[in-house]
Amino acid sequence: MKKITPNPPCPSAADFFASLVFSEPSKLDTTSKPMLDAKSATQDGDLHSLFVLTPNIDTETLLVHTRENLSSLNAMTDDLIAELRGQQRIRALAIQQFVMLSELLINRALEQVAPPHSAHAYAV
């Protein structure tokens, strides 16, 4: 026996969450409530923080990680710019310029916080 209607396509996770947010926002609250009820891993009991930074991280480490994040963002915008044309390309190039300027600022701050060591200091 032949099936009259074809199988519907499998929805992606993005489609699922978009349908919750745009069609029935109340369902999103009931879907996310169990996640918010979970106990927090932080000592202060803040349930609204997804990511928590250790309070005793030194400035140099924070700057290094920020520089790495900006470098990754720069590489991703490079890939995106190659696919865009017109006004979208111009906007993406502007975003990339802000990323590159931010990298320069972070690098200068990193030099001030932790000046580069001389080459002979690393000799064994």
For 70, other C-beta atoms within 10 Å of its C-beta total 20
pLDDT of residue 114: 84
Domain locations along the chain:
12-42, 59-115
Radius of gyration of the chain (CA): 23
Residue 97 and residue 70 in contact, taking contact as beta carbons nearer than 8 Å: no
pTM: 0.52
Output the tens digit of pLDDT for each of the chain's 124 residues.
565 666 655 555 555 555 554 555 555 455 455 444 444 444 555 567 777 888 899 999 999 999 999 999 999 999 999 999 999 999 999 999 999 999 999 999 999 988 877 545 444 4
CB atoms within 10 A of CB 80: 15
The confidence score (pLDDT) of residue 38 equals 44
